[in-house]
Structures are given as C-alpha cells and as structure tokens.
Structure 1
Amino acid sequence: MVSWSDEDESPDDLSSLGTEGPSSMYDSDFCGRADDGEMPVLCKCNCVAVKHVAFEGCWTGRRFLACPGEDGETCDFVHWVDEVWPAPLCKSLSKLWEMYHTCKQGRINDALDDVERRYKAQDEIAKLKVDLKLAQDDLKQVVEEKQVTLALKAKAEQALIEARAELEDKKKLDASTTNMHKCLRLKAEQERDKLKEEKRKLEHFIAELMKHNEGARSKLRKIKEICDE
C-alpha cells in the first residue's frame, strides 16, 4: 500500500518545481487516477489526483500525484510517492538533462541558422534572378544592336560591291568609248587624207583640163584668123 504521508514531501524539492510540477511520461505500471487505495487522493480542487512518472531533471523516474486539470483548471497540488533520489543520481540526472537541453538548444540554433541561411540563400537567389533578368535583357539588347549593326554592315558591303561593279562597268564603258573615239578619229583622218588625195587629183585634172581648153582656144583663134583672111 502506497503511503501518502506528508513526510514524503520535501519543501526544498517542491519549491524548485514550481506550481505545475515536473513534466511526465507515460508508464503503464503507474497511471490513471489515484483511487485504487482505501481512500482516493484528492487535489486542492477536490478532484481525484492523477498518477504521473516524472521525466524532467533530477526528478526523472520519480512517481507523483497531481491535479487532473478538469474543466481546464489546474491547481498546484503535487504529491511525491517516491523519495528524493540520492545526491549522486540527482547530479547525474541533472547533468544528463543539461546535456540534453544543450544539445537540443544547439540543434534549435543549427535549425535557426539553417533557416537563416536558407532565407539568405533565397534572398540571394531572388537577387540573382533579378540580375539574371537584367543581364538577359542587356544581352538581348546587345544581340539586337549587333544584328542591326550586321544588317547595316551587310547593306554597306552590298552597296560597296554594287558601286565597285558600277565603277568597273563605267571603266569598261569609258574604255570602249575611248576605243570608239580612237576608231572614229582614225577613220576621220583616213577620210580626210582620202579627200585630200581626191582634191589633189581633182585639182590636177582641172589644171590639165584648163590647159587642154587653153590649147583648144588657141587653135580656134588660129582657125578664126585663117577664116578671116
């Protein structure tokens, strides 16, 4: 039979727990309401207390009774069933729980750091996306400007090719015209020389004709003179 004497309570021990008692864990060997004795144990709310097994600090493993917290209200009733553990065990349990909380806090801090890193990474990714968008826009503009430049260059090169072709055609035409002028000039000179020669022959013929006419006239005059006598 479990003893519920007031001597089980330690004022120093209870003062370090606060009014709500320690955290607890489920133990199938010690659970349910404390009404299995000759007289049920009641809390300050006049409710049957509930059995718990402590799972916190140096009280880990100790059985206690506490308010069931019915109707959402809980009183500060805590009644220890087991005596306080020996000092070495209390220190060991406290050290283990300190290590646990330190490790837990470290994991929490790591998680917070990871969240912060993720947030910063997301922020950097967002900034990189903005920078990438700007770079893509700049690249697009550069490509468009280059395409325009290439189009203008191609147009200028085509115009240059056409101008060179036109110049070559003009040179050929000028050369052809020059040759034609030379041919016409040569032909004109030949015609002139021919005309000069024909003129010379004509003048010679006229001179001979005049000479012949003069002889004929002289003969006619002589014939006339003979006739007149």
Structure 2
Amino acid sequence: MPSWKDGEESSDEEELLGMDLEQHWANPGTTIDASFRGRVADASITCRLRLAPCMKYVTFEGRDTGRRFYGCAVPQDGIDCGVAQWVDAPWPSILQRCLEKIWEMFHEENCGRVIDHAKYKKELDKVNKQLDTLGDQYSQLVEEVTKMFDWADQNNRVMSDE
C-alpha cells in the first residue's frame, strides 16, 4: 500500500532523498573470485551514470558478504556508480544479522589493535627518549672519567719530578 493520501504522488527523487546515497550508489568492498570476474556479457547491463559496461564483483564486507553483483567498472572523478544489478538474491535475514555481527566484531578487534599500537608507539617513544638521555649521561660520565685520569696522570708526573 502506498503511504501517501489520495491525490498525492511520489517520485523516484523523493524516494532517493530518504536513502543513504553513499550506501546506495557506491560499490561495496569486494574480493576476487576466479569463477566470477571480468566484464558482463549482457550489454544491456550498464552503470547508472556513464552507461558503460559493468564488471563482475563479489562483495566482501557487511551483510552482503559473498553476494555477486555487476558494478561500475571505471569510477571517474571519485564518482562510483555503484551496484548496477545483484546477481544473487539477498541472504536470509538471520544470515545477514550474523554477517553484520561478525564484521562488527572484526572492526572492534581491529580498532582495539589500532589503539594498542598507538599505546605501544607512545611507550616506545618514551623508552627511546630515556635511552637517548642515558646515552648522553654515559658519554658525559666517560668524558669526566677521562679528564679525571688525565688530571691524575699530570699530578703523578708533578709529584715524581719533585
């Protein structure tokens, strides 16, 4: 059933305004599948903006992981026409939720590693500064000991001359 009152109409533009265009237009992350690659044989399947022939892709992120689709072959000027046509039907909703959860867990773990790496780098910088300081102190100590031995040698010569 339409959600508008009698006499009102809806256009495609109005429907698109409520959608997340980034998600709708951009190609999702993809992976290589040797059994599904190359250009689309059907010339009627073209990208939305340039009407260029599409390429075959396999999704590798999010709820559509593993789904095959035809998408923009040549993104230009940062514009990606996105998915032109899905080859596979959507996964069952339970599988979509599981895939979303797995990807969420992956991103959380990855974020944790990034944070741990930043902490490690900060601690490593601190230790390197301490090492540099200790190296400088050691050099100064060696220089002072050398001066002390030189002074002692000079005093021994003076005492032995007397």
Per the normalisation by structure 2, the TM-score is 0.73
Partner of residue 8, structure 2: none
Task: Count residues with an aligned counterpart.
Answer: 144
Deviation track 1:78-127 (CA, whole Å, cap 9, x = no partner) reads 12222222222112111111121122222223333333333333322222
Out of 121, 137, 142, the position equivalent to 1:136 is: 142
The structure whose residues are more often helix, as a share, is 1
Structure 2 unpaired stretches of 5+: 1-15
Aligned partners of 1:18 and 1:80: how far apart in 2?
12
Aligned partners of 2:62 and 2:112: how far apart in 1?
18
1:29 to partner: Cα distance: 1.8
- Residue identity opposite 2:57 in structure 1: H
Higher relative contact order (CA 8 A, sep 6+): 2
Aligned partners of 1:125 and 1:13: how far apart in 2?
55
Deviation track 1:172-194 (CA, whole Å, cap 9, x = no partner) reads xxxxxxxxxxxxxxxxxxxxxxx
| Further displaced range: 59-68 or 97-106 | 97-106
Distance verdict in 2 for CA 1:69–1:139, change over 3 Å: same
Asked if the contact 1:68/1:74 (under 8 Å) is kept, the reply is no
Asked if the contact 2:24/2:82 (under 8 Å) is kept, the reply is no
Partner of residue 98, structure 1: 104
Asked if the contact 1:19/1:77 (under 8 Å) is kept, the reply is yes
Aligned partners of 1:68 and 1:74: how far apart in 2?
11
Secondary structure of the residue that 2:28 maps to in structure 1?
A: coil
- Residue identity opposite 1:22 in structure 2: P
Asked if the contact 1:67/1:77 (under 8 Å) is kept, the reply is yes
Distance verdict in 2 for CA 1:51–1:59, change over 3 Å: same
Report 1:36-55 matches (<5 A).
36-37=41-42, 39-44=43-48, 45-55=50-60
Partner of residue 108, structure 1: 114
Larger radius of gyration: 1
1:146 to partner: Cα distance: 2.7
**How big is the alpha-carbon RMSD for the aligned residues of Structure 1 and Structure 2?**
2.7
1:61 to partner: Cα distance: 0.7
Distance verdict in 2 for CA 1:144–1:47, change over 3 Å: same
Aligned partners of 2:97 and 2:75: how far apart in 1?
35
Aligned partners of 2:86 and 2:21: how far apart in 1?
13
Distance verdict in 2 for CA 1:14–1:87, change over 3 Å: farther
Query: Identity of aligned pairs, percent?
Result: 24
Out of 60, 66, 69, the position equivalent to 1:61 is: 66
